[in-house]
Structure 1
Amino acid sequence: MSHPVITIARQFGSGGRLVAQKVAAALNIPFYDKAVIDLVAKETGFSHEFIQQAEQKRTSSFLYSLYMSTHSLPVTDQVFLAESDVIRRVAAEGPCVIVGRCGDYVLRSHEGLLSVFIHAPLDERIFRAKEEYKIDAPDLRSYVLKLDKQRASYYEHFTDRTWGKAENYLLSIDSTIGLDKAVDLILTLARSQGLQA
């Protein structure tokens, strides 16, 4: 029998990463976010910075893609494939929480997948970016929207799904209910699937 694995996708500034950390701590299971980058860097030789940049960008030029298809996979595709291998491997090892990186799509065939999307109104996310994340950008609204657009573009490039669309997730949560309440909802779902702290 397959074991539960929780994937958490999130809008920038929604507090989704913090929710994921709290869920993993409450269940005493591994938490993978930047740790996925660490594992990919170790296995591929790519630097952390290079991997992070590749995650935020994809080449949409048809001519570039056509050219690269005759030579080798584009680097963004190589990074995605390496991350997918790491995600499948850590999910096979036991229950865990995985943040972002198309985890819900990569593990779509995993029998115990609990996929979650965390979102919040734009004003809330701008406030969190400024007050909690201490982002110093001249136009925080544009900054937050740009990061969401990058996440959506990356996700939609590598999957056949729309990022953030509720039907693609088992649970979609507006974090304005409170991060602790969001954690409680996910824990209730996880425990109903047999995960206990």
Structure 2
Amino acid sequence: MDTIITIARQFGSAGREIGEQVAKYFNIPCYDKELLTRAAQESGFCEEMIQTHDERPTNSFLYNLVMDTYSFGYNASSFVDMPISHKVFLAQFNTIKKIADEGPCIIVGRCADYALSDYKNCVHLFIYGDEETKVKRIMNKYNLTEAKAKDMIVKKDKQRQSYYNYYSSKKWGRADSYDLCINSSVLGVEGTAKLIAQFVEDFENRKR
């Protein structure tokens, strides 16, 4: 097993829980919030700052600068002038690559599929769900009313979509941006994890 699995997910689709189950099956690490801690340690940013900008879009005019920066290497002056949101993105981007270089793992969110687009040993997934299932899960998890759960789902997904579409060259949630898109409401958390494990095992076998 040397495959790296990236999971993009709708809020409330249980993407993180599914990722953890798949990681347990293959006995490999799963990075979600753990990636933020690692990025903070390696970049020198405080973890609170990384969390504040985590998967949040930016409207900076320095978009082209940051594209050039992580594609072709950056110089000190351009990095100093860069807005903090871009610096945080770069910190996460570099950490994702370092983690991938260490061996098989699962990385949840944070444009990981785009950061690892040049890696051939990756499977990129998108997990979504039926609204009713997602709303019930968020209501139970955060002790919210149905209306507040719906609002939270819309807000979080808009943030993730804007962040992904801004920093990557692909479209969040669109089938052709990923290798496999799965509705976790159909099979549930365990069933979806089993389906992904089978998909990854078949992917491994085809490489041999």
| CA deviation profile, 1:4-52 (whole Å, cap 9, x unmatched) | 1000110000011000000000100111111110111112232222212
Structure 1 distance, partners of 2:14, 2:190, is: 10
Instruction: Report the Cα distance in structure 1 between the residues aligned to 2:87 and 2:32, rounded to whole angstroms.
Output: 18
CA distance 1:187–1:81, shift in 2 (3 Å): same
Matched residue of 1:57: which SS? coil
Please give the secondary structure, in 1, of the residue aligned with 2:126: strand
Deviation of 1:136 after TM superposition, in Å, equals 3.5
Match of 1:78 among 78, 87, 96: 87
Moved over 3 A (4+): 68-71, 135-138
Which digits, 9 at most, give the CA deviation of each residue in 1:98-139, with x for residues without a partner? 1001011111111011011000122211110011x2243762
State yes or no: 1:118 paired with 2:122: no
Query: How well do the aligned residues superpose, as a CA RMSD in angstroms?
Result: 2.3
Match of 2:136 in 1: 127
Moved more, 52-61 or 150-159: 52-61
Contact (CA 8 Å) 1:65, 1:74: kept in 2 or not? no
Q: Percent identity?
A: 37
Q: TM-score, normalised by structure 1?
A: 0.88
How high is the TM-score relative to the length of structure 2? 0.84
**Aligned pair partner of 1:102 in 93, 101, 111:** 111
Q: What is the alpha-carbon distance in structure 1 between the residues aligned to residue 172 and residue 36 of structure 2?
A: 21
Residue matched to 1:25: 24
- For 2:196, the equivalent position in structure 1 comes to 186
> How far apart, CA to CA, are the structure 2 residues paired with 1:45 and 1:135?
35
Structure (1/2) with the larger helix percentage: 2
In the alignment, the residues of structure 2 paired with residue 44 and residue 21 of structure 1 have an alpha-carbon distance, to the nearest angstrom, of 26
Q: Partners of 1:170 and 1:139 in 2: how far apart?
A: 33
2:10 corresponds to: 11
C-alpha separation between the residues in 2 aligned to 1:186 and 1:70? 39
The answer as to whether partners of 1:3 and 1:94 remain within 8 angstroms in 2 is: yes
Could you say what secondary structure the match of 2:194 adopts?
helix
The one of 134, 146, 163 aligned to 1:154: 163
Which runs of no fewer than 5 residues in structure 1 stay unpaired?
none
User: 2-side partners of 1:127 and 1:140: how far apart?
Assistant: 8
Q: 1:43 to 1:139 in 2, by over 3 A?
A: same
Q: Distance in 2 between matches of 1:70 and 1:47?
A: 17
C-alpha contact (below 8 Å) 1:117/1:169 kept by paired residues: yes
